[in-house]
Amino acid sequence: MTTPLHIHILGICGTFMGGIAVIAKQSGFRVSGSDQQVYPPMSTQLQEQGITLMEGYKAENLTDKPDLVIIGNALSRGNPEVEAVLNLGIPYCSGPQWLAEQVLQKKWVLAVAGTHGKTTTTSMLSWILEYQGFKPGFLIGGIPLNFGLSARLGESDFFVIEADEYDTAFFDKRSKFVHYRPRTAILNNLEFDHADIFPDLDAIKRQFHHLVRTIPGEGLIIAPACDENLKDVLAMGCWTPVQQTAIDAASPWQAHLNAPDGSRFTVMFDSLEQGIVEWSLTGLHNVYNALAAIAAARHIGILPNDAIEALKHFKNVKRRMEILFKQNNITVYDDFAHHPTAIKTTLEGLRKQVPTERIIAIVEPRSNTMRMGIHTQTLAESLSDANLAILYQPDNLAWDLSELQKYAKNIQICTSLDAIIKQFKQEAAKGGHFVLMSNGSFGGIYQRLQEVLA
């Protein structure tokens, strides 16, 4: 019996690299990996797949001398394990390159790009294909509750992927998504983000243009009609048909709201009604996400009405307004917020759902862009639908969050988790909807709050 080739992954507990590990394992490779922080839910997902995890980066992790090392984009020169890979002459590549060469070449790729909504829309589209029996492969930057895992190889010719514009690796500074060569591409939206690698918005537009250059003329691009930045991207050159989406406005794909919070809407295509989506999700951003997913599914032959039926059974992704606790007059949500626009649309959707009830946002500005203080006034304004916004100012944050109080009166700054817990107890006594917003672990506040609530 031939021993399967051994792949070792650096940064294996990141959502993308963890997905690569799962797909490699399902493809028949022997897989191991290392990371600085090995913790659930990704560590649990990987261990359930029979993947060996190593805590910390060190040369000894390579004693078994793997056949190939896949290096995540969070790793750079000077990392002891990266240095060992180079010194030992072990073949290496990036995750996007490996995926493109080993999996995507043989697939009809449906890619979801954009500053916001990638994970949710990729999950919706994957679920539509699954509900219709296609058994697609997918790689998603989160864990969709309909599937319970973030990635799989699949059993069909279709592969749905979250197409991230972040750079590929320390040796490949192109955006990840240029490797994927999609036939169907959703461009959800485009704003300035990732200030640690992009100097300005034009630099991101250029990367999106590079993505557009890879989409075949017989493919399809789906984009919102109202996004001026995406219009600029397409104006740089586009050789592929484009279908636009809109809410209560002229466009080939339209949604007519039957409920202001987006929980019920009619889907129109070329002025003909296709069906009504009625679901538990809220927010206009999710209406746009749904329209794009329905349009992409139609491109591979799924009728809009069948896609709509699938969405009625869609469960959102973990940490996308996921309810952690609900009792009496208190509801606590976990939301993966990373940008003022995402914060704004999430709170707007909740406000439409609960017009008169208290909303308390508890925010950790953790993304690289927010940590650098790129957003001040826009961050303050994004919290306007909250009765109170509690922001966490850790010692290592590069700027003073009190600047936000110049633009909004509902903002309170806490410099410790203990202070946030104390404030939470006081506010919880009054009841309301508490939204925890962070793209990280928030210092373990979730477990501490659950203890308080218990």
pLDDT values of the chain reduced to their tens digit, one per residue, 454 residues:
466 799 999 999 888 999 999 999 999 999 999 998 776 667 788 888 889 999 999 999 999 899 999 999 999 999 999 999 999 999 999 999 999 999 999 899 999 999 888 889 999 999 999 999 999 999 998 888 888 888 999 999 999 999 998 899 999 999 999 999 999 999 998 987 766 677 788 999 999 999 999 999 999 999 999 999 999 999 999 999 999 999 999 899 999 999 988 899 999 999 999 999 999 888 888 999 999 999 999 999 999 999 999 999 998 766 777 887 888 888 888 887 767 877 887 888 888 888 888 999 988 876 655 555 556 677 888 888 899 988 888 777 767 777 778 888 888 888 888 888 888 888 888 889 988 888 767 767 777 777 777 7
Architecture of domain 322-453: Alpha-Beta Complex (3.90)
C-alpha 321: how far from chain center: 13
Can you give the pLDDT at residue 48?
87
Architecture of domain 103-311: 3-Layer(aba) Sandwich (3.40)
Architecture of domain 6-93: 3-Layer(aba) Sandwich (3.40)
Which ranges constitute the DSSP H helices of 103-243? Answer: 118-131, 201-213, 228-235
Tokens of 190: 């485009």
Q: Which residues lie below 8 Å from residue 438, measured CB to CB, with a gap of 6+?
A: 336, 337, 363, 364, 366
Reported for 201-209, long-range contacts at CB under 8 A and 24+ positions apart, including other chains, are 201/229, 204/165, 205/229, 205/232, 205/233, 205/236, 206/236, 207/165, 207/174, 207/175, 207/177, 207/178, 208/113, 208/165, 208/233, 209/233, 209/236, 209/237
CA 284/CA 297 separation, integer angstroms: 20
CA distance to 157, 168, 230, 314, 406, per residue, from 225 (Å): 30, 29, 9, 25, 34
Can you give the pLDDT at residue 403?
78
Can you give the pLDDT at residue 440?
67
Can you give the pLDDT at residue 161?
98
Can you give the pLDDT at residue 373?
53
Q: Which residues lie below 8 Å from residue 115, measured CB to CB, with a gap of 6+?
A: 188, 189, 190, 191, 193, 339, 341
Tell me the domain boundaries of the chain. Answer: 6-93, 103-311, 322-453
Of 24, 37, 88, give the one whose Cα is nearest residue 60: 88
